[in-house]
Amino acid sequence: MAIIHITAENFEDEVIKSEVPVLIDFWAPWCGPCRMQGPIIDELDAECAEFAKVGKLNVDEEPTVAVKYGILSIPTIIVFENGEVKSKLVGLRTKEDLVALLKK
């Protein structure tokens, strides 16, 4: 699978209706820690493609979704399962932390 560019328009289909867990990286291009998280998210997508989706949502481009899910700091990682928030982490995380989060 490839990393999904999550928008307000595709959020319902890609996240809420997904049959597998979805990890979303809420980020912005001006955020230093977000830029550091990016390559980790790329690796995570390759490692978890068999059992989960990985997406990125630019909070500057999609503020309504960010507000809806209470994103106050970035990067924030949210895992959705069956359309519901399963886990939420704020700050830069390792690939191992994120894999564990998805397998939990």
In order of 43, 82, 92, 93, 102, the CA distances from 96 in angstroms are 10, 23, 12, 8, 10
Summarize pLDDT for 19-33 with one digit per residue, the tens.
Answer: 999 999 999 999 999
Q: Which residues of the chain have pLDDT under 70?
A: 1
Q: Which listed residue (4, 15, 24, 34) is catalytic?
A: 34
Q: Which listed residue (8, 28, 31, 49) is catalytic?
A: 31
4-103 has which CATH code?
3.40.30.10
Backbone φ and ψ of 58, nearest 5° = -80, 115
Q: Full-prediction pTM beyond 0.85?
A: yes
Q: Give the model's pLDDT for residue 7.
A: 96
Q: Give the model's pLDDT for residue 2.
A: 82
Of all residues in the chain, the percent with pLDDT exceeding 70 is: 99
CA-to-CA distance for 4 and 99, rounded, in angstroms?
17
Q: Give the model's pLDDT for residue 49.
A: 83
Active site residue 34: yes
Domain regions of the chain by residue span: 4-103
Q: Give the model's pLDDT for residue 23.
A: 96
CA-to-CA distance for 78 and 102, rounded, in angstroms?
10
